[in-house]
Structure 1
Amino acid sequence: MGTSGCPWESACTLPLGDTTGLVYAHLRAHNFIHNHSTRAGCPWPLCSREMRWGNVARHILERHLRMRVQCAFCGHTYSRNEALQTHMNVFYIDLHQHGVIREPSNIVGIGQAKRRSSSRG
Structure 2
Amino acid sequence: MPQEHTGDLLHENGAKVKVHPCKWDNCTMHVGVEHRHVAKHLQQRHGVNISATNEETHRIPCLWVDCFDFQMKPGNLPRHVLSTHLEERWICLTCSELFSREDAFRRHTQEKPACQYARPAVSYGDGVLEIDTQCFDGGRSIDQNVICIP
Equivalent residue for 1:78?
99
- Which 5+ residue runs of structure 2 have no aligned equivalent? 1-16, 128-150
CA contact (8 A) 2:90 2:121 kept: yes
Distance 1:6 1:51 in 2: 19
Equivalent residue for 1:36?
52
The answer to whether residue 11 in structure 2 is matched with residue 2 in structure 1 is no
Equivalent residue for 2:142?
none
User: TM-score, normalized by length of structure 2?
Assistant: 0.57
CA contact (8 A) 2:90 2:122 kept: yes
| One-letter amino acid of the structure 1 residue matched with residue 44 of structure 2 | A
Aligned equivalent of 1:90, options 111, 114, 117: 111
SS in 1 for 2:89: strand
Equivalent residue for 1:111?
120
SS in 2 for 1:46: coil
Sequence identity (%): 24
| One-letter amino acid of the structure 2 residue matched with residue 6 of structure 1 | C
Aligned CA RMSD, in angstroms, stands at 2.5
| One-letter amino acid of the structure 1 residue matched with residue 64 of structure 2 | W
SS in 2 for 1:3: strand
User: TM-score, normalized by length of structure 1?
Assistant: 0.69
Distance 2:115 2:66 in 1: 44
Distance 1:81 1:9 in 2: 26
- Which 5+ residue runs of structure 1 have no aligned equivalent? 102-106
Deviation at 1:47, TM superposition (A): 2.0
The structure richer in helix per residue is: 1
